Chain A
Amino acid sequence: MARIISMRKAINEAIRQCMEEDPTVILLGEDVAGGEGSPGADDAWGGDMGITKGLQPQFGKDRVMDTPISESAIMGCAVGAAASGLRPIAELMFVDFMGVCFDQIMNQAAKFRYMFGGKAQTPVVIRTQIGAGYNAAAQHSQCLYPMFAHIPGIKCVIPSSAYDTKGLLIQAVRDNDPVIFFEHKVMYDEVSDDVPKEAYAIPFGEANIVRDGGDITIVAMARMVHKAKEAAEVLAREGIECQIVDPRTISPLDEDTIIECVEETGRLIVVDEAYPRCNMGTDIAALAAREAFGALKAPIQVVSPPHVPVPFAPELEEAFIPSPEKIADAVRKTVSYGA
């Protein structure tokens, strides 16, 4: 009965089902269908990675819209439409492009509800690609999600499985607050798992315990969950049992689960592909130090890339991305602390 599908397909299916159940859901972005105003075929790409292919033929050009390359206008349009009765899903091709449109997210969407005294609702979803691994270098490979977690008023989703991707994306569309949905580009085809064909929603702020283990808690997000799983397999053979916690949403953050887990194991490592300064690693480490200090048997470790932009050369990029080996080393160091 298992139905194994890729993250790529899970996203497409989630959007399709949301658009089927709610006529106010629209999709807009650069080449989300592809071919607008061109002599050849419509729906030429379905987004630069082909994720939204097939949606325009089903829902038409009034609901699935290619746009000019105008990120500020795309984001602002989606935000304004959301505040005016639609549930737009806007695609920002790569999170790196947030640089040209951040105002519409940071100062507009994030602020409406609060600064208008609770009278506005902005149910917009912004889908965007994150992550290194395709040798796409400094301006197409960043994670950047900590920058968004920093801002009150927006919710941040970072799924690590196809199951979570579908359920969290549907929740994002149904959610009445602005949501940024971060998709790790390498995971589109790298990750497949069991996904129900029906629509379902996973509540935000509910961490997933990916693996049980009593010796150490590893908190990881997106692709790092899988790197942590690889490390945990190796460590299990050495007799070290790792518990892996995936927050799934970093805003809201399921602090309770993280604290409970750290209290159970007494040890914590956070693995974060984002730059090391002010990332989720530092944030979660601070949380544990604050709320679970008494339970800690060893210093908290954060496994992150070095504080450098994402390099182009394959061997440098590989050295940049936290590896199972680095995670395992950090675990060994933590578990043997004081011994």
Chain B
Amino acid sequence: MSEERILAITVPKWGMAMEEGTVTGWHLEEGAKVAEGDDVLDVESTKIANVIEAKCDGVLRRQVAEVGTTLPVGALLGVIAPSDVEDAAIDAFVSGFVVEAVALEGEGGPAVETIDVDGRDIRYVVHGEGGEPIVLVHGFGGDMNAWMFTQDALSADRAVYSMDLPGHGGSAKDVGDGDLSVLTSAVIAVMAETGAAHVHLVGHSLGGAAALQVALDHPDKVASLTLIAPAGLGQEINGGYITGFVTAQRRKDMKPLAEQLFADTSIVTRQMVEDLLRNKRINGVDAALAAIAGAQFEGDRQLLDLASRADELDVPVQIIWGRDDRIIPVGHSGNLEGARVHIIDDAGHMPMMEKAGEVNDLILAFV
């Protein structure tokens, strides 16, 4: 009878490649009180480490997984329940816990789709279904995996589309002259794929600029706009990061660059750096990045100015920015008139990874 009040904490699935996670530390002792949103434990995959937050109030009744153990996605890590649930019920819950068959790639997992946009293959993936869909647009040099902590969390009541921009991830590497319109055409095409008249656009960094451009050009198609550390709202940008990212070929060059993305540099694992390099090695990627960087940035300056067009914007907008952003100054967050602004502490340029819970809550509340 008290089953419903017992909540399992399980190994999450961050990105499609994740099959298992390792417990690296508990923030709470067994028996400690816990409030929704509290940090409960740290888990790391081969690619990234992150904290798991409590999804409800209660007491941490069991630490099922010891520090150092590696478990498959979906496996039980711990149990949260109110203090009045009997121990026997907790024990029964733990012993009776069944790991749900985790959808592995190509076996009923999120569908990976490819569409042709102006002769370019554009890849996207869908989590969840129905509702007013969300389309997630990553930034310069990234891909849909930027949303590994986001896409599942947003997809409870709606379809969430995350896409690879041209020149990125699994999409075509040809970006022409690197003009923003090449990116926005792909975004618009994925929006059309949702079949919905209106979509919520969430864009990060250069993907934020693309999302903003789409909202300016097609206000009728955009239900809301969430811009995370977007480009296009001010002149300054960390040109050293951009140039370095385009030219980096080796781990020792890439690692310090990746570290600039985060407030807490320990998030950057060897595998994360390796994944960035693996992507960049593919034929055409560096040329695409160079073309985009050349069209959008000049040294420490952004060439694109969308802030001045704020008055044309006919869509609800929120801006989320990490206070410790070292790529685009957090100060740009005030440059778009009419937007709600949320500054996140202890986050750099990637708040949706570093402070996933907060960012997800902000997006869910906004849409």
Using a CB–CB cutoff of 8 Å, the interface residues on chain A facing chain B are 1-2, 163, 167, 196, 198-203, 206, 208-209, 212, 256-257
* A194 → chain B closest CB, angstroms: 8
Q: Is the CB of A256 within 8 A of B16?
A: no
Instruction: List residues of chain A with CB within 8 A of the CB of B282.
Output: 196, 198-200
Task: Please report B residues at the A interface, Cβ cutoff 8 Å.
Answer: 16-17, 105, 112, 170, 173, 249-252, 270, 274, 278, 281-284
Partner of A1, one of B170, B252, B278, B281: B170
A91 → chain B closest CB, angstroms: 24
B252 contact set on A, CB distance < 8 A: 256-257
Asked whether, in the complex, the Cβ of B105 is within 8 Å of the Cβ of A2, the reply is yes
The distance in angstroms between the C-alpha atoms of A206 and B274, with both chains bound, is 11
Cβ-defined contact, B283 with A1, below 8 A: no
- Among A198, A212, A256, which residue has the most Cβ atoms of chain B within 10 A? A198
For the A-B complex with A1-B17, A196-B278 known, give 15 more contacts whose Cβ atoms are closer than 8 Å.
Answer: A1-B112, A1-B170, A2-B17, A163-B278, A198-B173, A198-B283, A198-B284, A199-B282, A200-B281, A200-B282, A203-B249, A203-B250, A206-B249, A206-B250, A212-B270
**Bound state CA distance, A202 and B250, in angstroms?**
9
Cβ–Cβ contact A200 & B283, under 8 A = yes
Q: Tell me, in angstroms, the Cα distance from A194 to B281 when the chains sit together.
A: 15
A2 vs B106: C-alpha distance when bound (angstroms): 9
- Specify which chain A residues have a CB less than 8 angstroms from the CB of B281 in the assembled complex: 167, 200-202
- Which residues on the B side are within 8 Å of A257 (C-beta)? 251-252
A310 and B195 CA atoms in complex are apart in Å by 65
- Nearest residue in A to B270 (C-beta to C-beta)? A209
Note all chain B residues with C-beta closer than 8 A to A2: 17, 105
Taking a contact as CB atoms closer than 8 A, the residue among B16, B249, B283 that contacts A199 in the complex is B283
Distance (whole angstroms) from the CB of A115 to the closest CB of chain B = 30
CB distance from B359 to the nearest CB of A (A): 25
Closest Cβ neighbor of A208 among chain B residues: B274
From residue A311, how far is it (CB to closest CB) to chain B in Å? 39
Q: How far is the CA of A199 from the CA of B170 in the complex (A)?
A: 13
19 contacts between A and B (CB under 8 A): A1-B16, A1-B17, A1-B105, A1-B112, A2-B17, A2-B105, A163-B278, A167-B281, A196-B282, A198-B282, A198-B283, A201-B281, A202-B281, A203-B249, A206-B249, A206-B250, A209-B251, A257-B251, A257-B252
Minimum CB–CB distance for B71 against chain A, Å: 15
- Residues of chain B within 8 A of A196, CB atoms compared: 278, 282
Name the residue in A1, A167, A202, A212 with the highest tally of chain B Cβ atoms < 10 Å from its Cβ. Answer: A1
Contacts of A256 in B (CB 8 A): 252
Q: Name A243's closest neighbour in chain B (CB-CB).
A: B270
Contacts of A199 in B (CB 8 A): 282-283
A13 to chain B, nearest CB (A): 13
Q: Name the distance in Å between B69's Cβ and chain A's nearest Cβ.
A: 12
B244 → A minimal CB distance (Å): 16
Instruction: A1 to B110: give the CA distance in the assembly, Å.
Output: 11
Closest to A205 in B: B250
Q: How far is the CB of A245 from chain B (nearest CB, A)?
A: 11
A208 and B283 alpha carbons, distance in the complex (Å): 20
Q: Which residues of A have CB within 8 Å of B17? A: 1-2
Residue of A nearest to B16 (CB): A1
How far does the Cβ of A210 sit from chain B's closest Cβ, in whole Å?
10
Q: Which residues of B contact A201 (CB under 8 A)?
A: 281
B9 to nearest A CB, angstroms? 25
With a CB–CB cut-off of 8 A, which chain B residues contact A202?
281
A257 to B252, CA, bound (A): 9
- Which of A167, A198, A206, A212 is B251 in contact with, Cβ under 8 Å? A206
Docked pose: A208 CA to B277 CA in angstroms: 12
Which A residue sits closest to B46, measured CB to CB?
A212
Alpha-carbon gap, A198 to B278, bound state (A):
11
Report the Cα distance A206→B248, complex, angstroms: 12
- Nearest CB on B from A318, distance (A): 31
Q: Which residues of A contact B283 (CB under 8 A)?
A: 198-200
A260 → B minimal CB distance (Å): 9
| Cα distance, A199 to B284, chains bound together (Å) | 9
What chain B residues lie within 8 Å of A167 (beta carbons)? 281
The residue in chain B whose Cβ has the minimal distance to the Cβ of A201 is B281
Please report the C-alpha to C-alpha distance between residue A199 and residue B278 in the assembled complex, in whole angstroms.
11
Query: What CA separation (Å) do A332 and B105 show in the bound complex?
Result: 38
Closest Cβ of chain A to B73, distance in Å, is 15
C-alpha gap A200/B274 in the complex (Å): 14
| Min CB–CB distance A230 → chain B (angstroms) | 17
Give Cα A221 to B17, complex, Å. 26
Of listed B251, B274, B281, B282, residue having the most chain A CB within 10 A: B281
The complex places the Cα of A167 from the Cα of B285 at a distance, in Å, of: 14
Complex Cα gap A240–B251 (Å): 26
CB distance from B288 to the nearest CB of A (A): 12
Measured CA separation A203–B170 after assembly (Å):
22
